[in-house]
Amino acid sequence: IAYSTCQGGLQLLLSLRSVQKALADGLTPEASYAFASCSAALCCLRVGDPNLALFCCKVALALLDKYNHKYSQIVLTILNASILPHNQPMQACVESFRRAYADSICVGDVEWELHSFCLMIVSYVFAPVRGRALKDVEIEIRQKMLETKLQNNSLNNIYLVYFQAILNLSEDAGADGADPTVLANGMIDVEAKMSECLEKQRPNPLRKMYFCRMWLAYLFRRYSIAAEMLELHQEVAKAAKVYSSIEVIHETFYAGLIAASLLRQNGYDKIKWRSLVEVALNQLSNWAEVGSEWNFGHKLDLLKAEKFFSENETEAAASSYESAIRGAKKHCFINEEALACERAGMFHLHNGSMDEARKYLGMAKQLYSDWGAKRKVNDVGALLKEM
């Protein structure tokens, strides 16, 4: 009840009650679930000292070891969706979700098999595993869908929006040059799903759909779509108060990047978008300070670079782009290394440094190719051709 409820206060109350009961009545295998749920509630609701959420996480993992990893499919999924993306490399979360998925199958726990599978898809998109291109990810996901026969499950369909985003990046546009921001390729009827979610007042699925569209729109420089989706996303996020931290991290990062880009476009409220940039910068800075520099350092540098670009602080922007590229490379985020190179190239192009622009855009094109994002390879290639 505590983990599945969408009422934040109730989740925290029930989680604390579970921990209290475990301490009063004696520790059992179920206590690991209680501490994991408490850690997730404290982290996702941003309540109290972050160290308390991390402490509960460590207790939950210690109890897993003590009781021969009973309920590991539940505890690992909860912790890797909440506190652990803040405190360990995100690529490690991918492997933990895979382990939770395998454990769920072993014990026949269909519900947590589904949760771990869906969150695994999210991790694959934003924390690529070294040596695994998007095509490899697509093949694995399709295989798991067939193995588990979860294609028609409603929760699975909601998370397939992330899988559709992978397809939008990895597949060629074709002769018709289809819009890369439209989430429609046979995996899920997004328009029908959005209408259903609006009718039934289900904010969490809408939040995922709006985010994936705003993310793709930003990647392909469709700024008007990105702005529209971001505003819709912010509205539904107010209602979706209990949400996995692993998704909130990426939402915050790309919301800041979109806002910084809109500062350079005509016809947008500069005060509004500058405020959103500052919110994202403060959040990323806090996460980098109290959590993992591995996950957040280069993100913070890239957002700073985009802000400096928008404010015509050229030296600071150039330096921050370089830091973002180095950090993303060092910490194996090939997707964000490619993005930082692309944005650095666009910065130098704007300032008339054609040789530097070609260098960075060429680096971005190669990195997108290594990642398997064919649509972005073609997109950056078109920019180079125009030059």
CB 265 within 8 A of CB 298: no
The dihedrals phi and psi of 222, each to the nearest 5 degrees, come to -95, 75
State residue 204's pLDDT score: 79
First to last CA, the chain: 57
For 55, the token pair is 């402490």
Q: What's the pLDDT at 201? A: 67
157: amino acid identity, one letter: N
pLDDT score recorded for residue 175: 41
Q: Which residues contact 145 (CB under 8 A, 6 or more apart)?
A: 151, 156
Are 237 and 283 within 8 A, CB to CB? Answer: no
Q: What confidence score (pLDDT) does residue 39 get?
A: 92
Whole-angstrom distance, CA of residue 215 vs CA of residue 157: 19
Largest Cα span, the chain: 70
Query: What does each of the 387 residues of the chain score in pLDDT, given as a tens digit?
Result: 555 555 667 778 888 899 999 999 989 999 999 999 999 888 877 766 778 999 999 999 999 999 989 999 999 999 999 999 999 999 999 999 999 999 999 999 888 888 898 899 999 999 998 888 999 999 998 888 877 655 555 555 667 788 889 999 998 754 456 788 888 755 566 666 666 666 666 677 788 889 999 999 999 999 999 999 999 999 988 876 667 889 999 999 999 999 999 999 988 999 999 999 999 999 999 999 988 899 999 999 999 999 999 999 999 999 999 999 999 999 999 999 999 999 999 999 999 999 999 999 999 999 999 999 999 999 999 999 998
pTM, rounded to two decimals: 0.92
